[in-house]
Chains A and B, each alone.
Chain A
Amino acid sequence: MELLHVKIPSWADLQWWLPELVLCLTFLFALIGDLLARGRRPVVPFAIAVLGLAVAGVLAVVDTGAAAPAGGRAIMGDLVVVDGLAAFFRLLFLFAGLATALFAWTSEEIMGRRREHKGEFYALTVLMTLAMMVMAEARDVLMLYLSMEGVGLASYVMAGYMRTSLRSTEASLKYVVFGAVSSAIMLYGLSLLYGMTGSLRFDGIRQALLAGGADPFGLLVAVVLILAGMSYKIAAVPFHFWCPDVYEGAPTPVAALFSVGPKAAGFALMIRFFYSTLAVGANPAASVALIDAINWPLLVAVISAVTMTFGNLVALRQDNVKRMLAYSSIAHVGYLLMGFVLLSDDGLAAILFYLLVYTLMNLGAFFFVVAVNNHLKSEELADYGGLFYRMHWTVGVMMVIFLGSLTGLPPFAGFVGKLYLFMAVMDRQWFWLVILAALNSVVSLYYYFRVAKVMILSRPAAGADASPLRLHWLQYVVLACLAVPTLALGLFFGSFKDLADASIRAMAGG
């Protein structure tokens, strides 16, 4: 049995794992810093977390995995791999984590008076970022499960961060229960797969599958069960039920991070797991036969179609902006899954690119809600009337950029992301899916621009509070750091597209 061949990790492996190492230390120091901050504004843990994330970010930029051998560098007893794909997601998660930490500093929900140990939030953000990074690096079923639970654990606590709020506590509990059930389902699927292939390593599984011997129906059952567990993580229909409630209940900065971080991590994991076990290999014909044997394309296409349509149609009826964004994030998962249908390099690269864009625009939209919530104490669309005229015009314009990008309008980045996904699917002539996705974009226009309509076209009702909203300077900075790339990536996306392509190629190399 392979389990007996566990390699002992060597200290030398850590040199390839510097960002992760830094985050580990940051997490511990931030916790200690929080104990010291007791009762006061938690400057120390905040500063430690931001610094740690930034340093890890720099290290991740320095080591892009380009120097790694083909197929990536397997480290830590071959449990994780550092390659182009891992490097891409490292940067994505560190960026999301850093942006969230910075914005949370200005959020009333997080920093409000009634909470002790506010520093915990920053420690948890770091922990979650770390776990997500490991999710993108796992090359072994054990590590896959461990990292997913790591992300889950941090998420459960963060969702219930506002302990005195019923909604927040409920959100946390829902998340836990759903998480436990889907983890169990996924574990069952993984155990079936292990039984069929006798290996826990992704590449070992692939070799066993290609060597034949796996019964297609048994494999299909295992794949469906595993897919179910991962669908929970990315909130694809029909495993999405937790998503709107958790987003609505959790503090908004946390919801922002949830809507991009764990989702992207889920996709990273899915890309590596399914690509490594089913698609890649020296024998492409056998891979294709394998994928077709379990009807993978149709399976994923249907999930994708149902997810995007459901998310969009339900989002139409939401009056709470946060809930609307939750359903919209479900719809975006549907678009993203389009890239999965064929397990082709193009499709996967399109997913990476879209995740990058999605992170920017979705964080932006959520952060806008945070900024508004600080003043209005409400996320109801009805309270947004004439909001544009109550804040500096640049903030409203940035929100329009995020909304336009989420809709997929040029010249914003969301358009390019969608274009790339559409192309990947259209290239293999999945027309019904791409037409459905295009029509879904039109539907989404309605609810995204309902926010713009209420904010900009309607003036505040007579007698309503029309006092100007002043944002913290940090909020301007973070929003601009999200809005400017959202616009720029829509016009000059060549290098990022190449980066996404290279990341997929690097993973596929072995």
Chain B
Amino acid sequence: MGEHILSWMTFFPVIGAAVIAFIPGGRKSVIKTVAAAAAAVPLILAVQLYLQFDRGSSGLQFVEHHSWIKSFNIEYFMAVDGLSMPMMLLTALLSFLCIFASWNIEKATKGYFAMFLILEAGMFGVFCALDFFLFYVFWEVMLLPMYFLIGIWGGPRREYAAIKFFLYTLAGSVLMLLAMIAFYLNTSDPVTGGHTFNMVHMFDQNNHSPWLQVTNVRHLLWMALFIGFAIKVPVFPFHTWLPDAHVEAPTAVSVILAGVLLKMGTYGLLRISYPMLPDQAMWFRYALATLGAINILYGAYCAMAQKDMKKLVAYSSVSHMGYVLLGMAAMNSAGMNGAVLQMFNHGTITAMMFLCVGVVYDRAHTREINGFGGLGLQMPRYFSFFSFALFAALGLPGLSGFVSEAMIFMGAFPAFRTITIISALGIIIGAAYVLWMLQRVFLGPKNDKWDNLPDINAREMLTLVPIGILVLLLGVYPMPVLDLMKVTLNNLVKVVAG
């Protein structure tokens, strides 16, 4: 597996899905075990990746480069660098844990786990594809399983939420598709001179045709790519699919959606938009920072207004992704590193929150914040896990969210003073909605209705503990993740900011 480690990571889940297709639907425990095994292998490989990754290099590593479709110069080009490494690790970890978070799926178990594994493959593929066509295929491959995961196993309004998610993302994707074609037709391979989908060639501005050097064209392409990615992030005003999708999706799918899928938007900006159109990134940075600030504040205010726990967490994601945008817009080392670290940290923290919401929803079949009260007495262990996650979300020093948010502010402050100061208000509002929810759900007089709720069980703790350890560890010592990415990102800063 050594040479093709990325391919194995990406396609092993597909093999798992294929195996599941041949297991009779009634053998549910067999199906779950196969799914767990199929997700475990990429996790083990991710550990191997982590150990072997050369932290001193900004170049591509574990490269796999083959010709795929000659007549279009499409290549099978997979590799990782410091930007994709944290995302690969996050995907491997969350996917594996989510298999266990889905253990109680009884409806059409076979289809669920098959879809889930295909989704996992798509996520890995997006994070290590370096051929634009390949990237796009992986990007879109995730849509179908996601549609069905929300639409079949979701809540009461699942059909609406599923098609809304699908339509929004596809609308973004086709814009990206058009930009991709424009790049393809206007980038020449320095060796052969033909058109190419190779992203590395697209990064090099010398390979661009004269048409692609016209400022207005570049602005348009930037906007097409930006909207495509912004819908995924989601950036205000493209965020309205998110609360619906999150609320209706089953717990594990929400975790993947918030933990990994949202990162694809910001990953795409950093992987594709920034290096391909660096001057446009500079041109757009005030707008990006402003949108980030809007996301932070608007998301936080919306979160505060929610009565449904899951919707609150969903809006908190909007808010937290705003920090990522702000850090990216700063275009300096602290901001950029903070942004990618925040992508990783938000992935873990929000995963914990969604898992915690799932725990109570499985028992009480409601997520109405005001319907609870005094749960801290009834479920003490659960209380500690949930409050740990919530404190991490509000950026308590010592937990990982604090580190990345602090880095982002350090980076953003010299770049845009006013916007950063306004954005910092988001922390206060963040604390407000988090603490207010904590108070309404866990403190105060106990609601007798919930006298019979059992505390969190071993399986649920199994999904929470590893993430919790990571959140704590990275809060105290973020270097394991920062080390992976800083060389690459500092290099990117140089490319973009000159």
Residues from chain A with Cβ under 8 Å of B151 in the complex: 453, 456-457
Neighbouring A residues of B136 by C-beta, 8 Å? 410
Indicate if the CB atoms of A441 and B170 lie closer than 8 Å.
yes
Given contacts A422-B178, A438-B175, A457-B158, 14 further A-B contacts (CB under 8 A): A415-B137, A423-B184, A438-B177, A438-B178, A441-B170, A442-B170, A449-B163, A449-B166, A457-B148, A457-B152, A458-B159, A493-B69, A494-B71, A497-B72
Report if B449 contacts A (CB, 8 A): no
Q: Which one, B70, B174, B182, contacts A494 given CB within 8 A?
A: B70
Chain B: CB-nearest residue to A401: B144
Residue among B69, B144, B167, B177 making CB contact with A492, cutoff 8 Å: B69
> In the complex where A457-B152, A494-B70 touch, is A422 in contact with B159 (Cβ < 8 A)?
no
Instruction: Note all chain B residues with C-beta closer than 8 A to A409.
Output: 140, 143-144, 170
**Binary interface encoding of chain B residues 141-178 relative to chain A, with 1 for a CB under 8 A from any of its CBs, else 0:** 10110011001100000110011001100110011011
Q: Does A411 contact B (CB under 8 A)?
A: yes
> Does the CB pair A411–B71 fall under 8 Å?
no
Closest chain A residue to B185, Cβ basis: A427
Q: Is B181 an interface residue (CB 8 A)?
A: yes
> What is the chain B residue whose CB lies nearest that of A493?
B69
Contact between A419 and B71, CB atoms less than 8 A apart = no
- B178, A453: Cβ atoms closer than 8 Å: no
**Contact A435 B178, beta carbon cutoff 8 Å:** yes
Q: Could you say which of B137, B152, B166 contacts A411, with CB atoms under 8 Å apart?
A: B137
Tell me if A445 counts as interface (CB < 8 A to partner B): yes
CB pair B159 A453 closer than 8 Å: yes
Closest to B137 in A: A410
Knowing A453-B163, A458-B159 touch, does A422 contact B69 (C-beta < 8 A)? no
> Does B177 lie within 8 Å of A422, measured CB to CB?
yes
A376 within 8 A of B: no
Q: Hey, which chain A residues are within 8 Å of B159, CB to CB?
A: 453, 457-458
Q: Which residues of B contact A449 (CB under 8 A)?
A: 147, 163, 166
Contact residues in B for A393 (Cβ distance below 8 Å) = 111
- The answer, yes or no, to whether A337 is at the interface (CB within 8 Å) is no
Q: Are A423 and B143 in contact (CB under 8 A)?
A: no
Q: Does any Cβ of B come within 8 Å of A404's Cβ? A: yes
Q: Which residues of A line the B interface, CB within 8 A?
A: 393, 400, 404, 407, 409-411, 415, 419, 422-423, 426-427, 434-435, 438-439, 441-442, 445-446, 449, 453, 456-458, 492-494, 497-498, 501
CA distance A404 to B118 in the complex (A): 15
Most chain A beta-carbon neighbours within 10 Å: one of B159, B166, B174: B174
CA distance A427 to B183 in the complex (A): 11
Question: Which A residues are CB-close (under 8 A) to B70?
Answer: 494
Instruction: Report if A410-B140 is in contact (Cβ < 8 Å); known contacts: A419-B177, A441-B174, A442-B170.
Output: yes
| Residues of chain A contacted by B182 (CB below 8 angstroms) | 426
- Min CB distance A447 to B, Å, is 11
CB distance from A498 to the nearest CB of B (A): 6
User: Residues of B contacting A446 with CB < 8 Å?
Assistant: 163, 167
In order of increasing CB-CB distance, the 3 nearest A-B pairs are A438-B174, A494-B69, A410-B137
| 21 chain-A/chain-B pairs, Cβ below 8 angstroms | A409-B140, A409-B170, A410-B140, A410-B141, A422-B178, A423-B185, A438-B175, A438-B178, A439-B174, A441-B170, A442-B174, A445-B166, A445-B167, A446-B167, A453-B151, A456-B151, A457-B159, A458-B159, A494-B69, A497-B71, A498-B71
Complexed CA–CA distance, A419 and B178 (Å): 9
Task: Please measure, in the bound complex, the distance between the C-alpha atom of A139 and the C-alpha atom of B281, giving whole angstroms.
Answer: 55
Q: Complex formed: what's the CA distance from A498 to B167 in Å?
A: 33
| Smallest Cβ-Cβ distance to A444: which chain B residue | B170
Interface of A is mostly: helix
Using a CB-CB cutoff of 8 Å, which residues 43-82 of chain B contact chain A? 68-72
A441→B167 CA distance, assembly (Å): 10
Contacts of B141 in A (CB 8 A): 410-411
Query: Given known contacts A415-B140, A442-B170, A458-B159, is B71 in contact with A501 (CB within 8 Å)?
Result: yes
Question: Given A446-B167, A456-B151, A498-B71, do A426 and B137 touch, yes or no (CB 8 Å)?
Answer: no
Question: Which of chain B's residues have a CB closer than 8 A to the CB of A441?
Answer: 170, 174
A residues near B68, Cβ cutoff 8 Å = 494
Q: Which residue of B lies closest to A423 (CB)?
A: B181
A492–B69 Cα distance when bound, in Å, is: 7
Q: How far, in angstroms, from A449 to B72 measured CA to CA in the complex?
A: 30
- Kindly state the interface size class of chain B when it binds its partner: 20 to 34
Chain B residues with CB under 8 A of A400: 144
Q: Which residue of B lies closest to A453 (CB)?
A: B159
**A422–B181 CB distance below 8 A:** yes
Would you give the shortest CB distance from A443 to chain B, in whole angstroms? 9
Residues on the B chain within 8 Å of A422, using CB: 177-178, 181
B106 CB to nearest A CB, Å: 14
Q: CA of A427 to CA of B69 in the docked complex: distance in angstroms?
A: 19
A449 to B177, CA, bound (A): 21
Alpha-carbon gap, A494 to B133, bound state (A): 14
Contact between B167 and A426, CB atoms less than 8 A apart: no
Which B residues are in CB contact (< 8 Å) with A404?
144
The digit string for B94-137, where 1 denotes a CB below 8 A from any CB of A, is 00000000000000000100000000000000000000000011
Q: How near does chain A come to B172, taking the closest CB pair, in angstroms? A: 9
Interface members, chain B 165-214 (any A CB < 8 Å): 166-167, 170-171, 174-175, 177-178, 181-182, 184-185
**A492 / chain B contacts, CB cutoff of 8 Å:** 69
Contact B152 A456 (CB under 8 A): yes
What is the minimal beta-carbon distance from A422 to any residue of chain B, in angstroms? 6
Which residues from chain B contact A423 at a C-beta distance below 8 Å? 181, 184-185
Q: Which residues of B contact A419 (CB under 8 A)?
A: 177, 181
Kindly report which residue of chain B lies nearest to residue A501, judged by CB atoms: B71
Chain A residues, CB < 8 A from B174: 438-439, 441-442
Find chain B residues with CB under 8 A from A415 CB. 137, 140
| Residues of B close to A434: CB separation below 8 A | 178, 181
CA distance A404 to B71 in the complex (A): 24
Q: How far is the CA of A404 from the CA of B148 in the complex (A)?
A: 13
Report A-chain residues with C-beta under 8 Å of the C-beta of B147. 449
Query: Which of A422, A427, A445 counts the most B-chain CB atoms under 10 A from its CB?
Result: A445
Q: How far is the CB of B35 from chain A (nearest CB, A)?
A: 17
Instruction: Give the complex CA separation of A498 and B417 in angstroms.
Output: 56
| Nearest CB in chain A: distance from B348 CB, A | 30
Chain B CB within 10 Å, residue with most, of A410, A422, A446: A410
Alpha-carbon gap, A451 to B294, bound state (A): 38
Q: How far is the CA of A434 from the CA of B151 in the complex (A)?
A: 31
Considering the complex, give the chain A residue whose CB is closest to the CB of B184.
A423
When distances are taken between beta carbons in the complex, the residues of chain B under 8 Å from A439 are 171, 174
Q: When chains A and B are docked, how far (Å) is the Cα of A457 from the Cα of B163? A: 11
Inter-chain contacts of A458 with B (CB < 8 A):
159
Bound form: Cα–Cα A339–B185 in Å:
16
CA distance A8 to B140 in the complex (A): 57
Bound form: Cα–Cα A427–B72 in Å: 14
Chain A residues with Cβ below 8 Å from B170 are 407, 409, 441-442, 445
In the bound complex, residues from chain B placing their C-beta under 8 Å from that of A498 are 71
Instruction: Give A438 to B147 CA distance when docked, in angstroms.
Output: 20
- Which residues of the other chain, A, contact B178 by a CB distance below 8 angstroms? 422, 426, 434-435, 438
| Binary contact track B420-463/A, C-beta < 8 Å → 1, others 0 | 00000000000000000000000000000000000000000000
Distance A410 CA – B143 CA, assembled complex (angstroms): 10
Query: A437 CB to closest chain B CB, in angstroms?
Result: 9
Residues on A with C-beta less than 8 A from B163 are 446, 449, 453
Please determine whether B185 and A426 come into contact, CB atoms closer than 8 angstroms. Answer: yes
Q: What chain B residues lie within 8 Å of A456 (beta carbons)? A: 148, 151-152
In the complex formed, the residue of A with least CB distance to B136 is A410
A179 → B minimal CB distance (Å): 36
Question: Which residues of A are found within 8 Å of B72, using beta-carbon distances?
Answer: 494, 497
Q: Which residues of A contact B140 (CB under 8 A)?
A: 409-411, 415
A425 CA to B178 CA in the complex, in Å? 11
Alpha-carbon separation in the docked complex, A497 to B74 (Å): 13
B184: A residues at CB distance < 8 A:
423
Q: If A409-B144, A410-B137, A456-B152 touch, does A442 touch B171 (CB 8 Å cutoff)?
A: yes
CB neighbours (8 Å) of B177 from chain A are 419, 422, 438
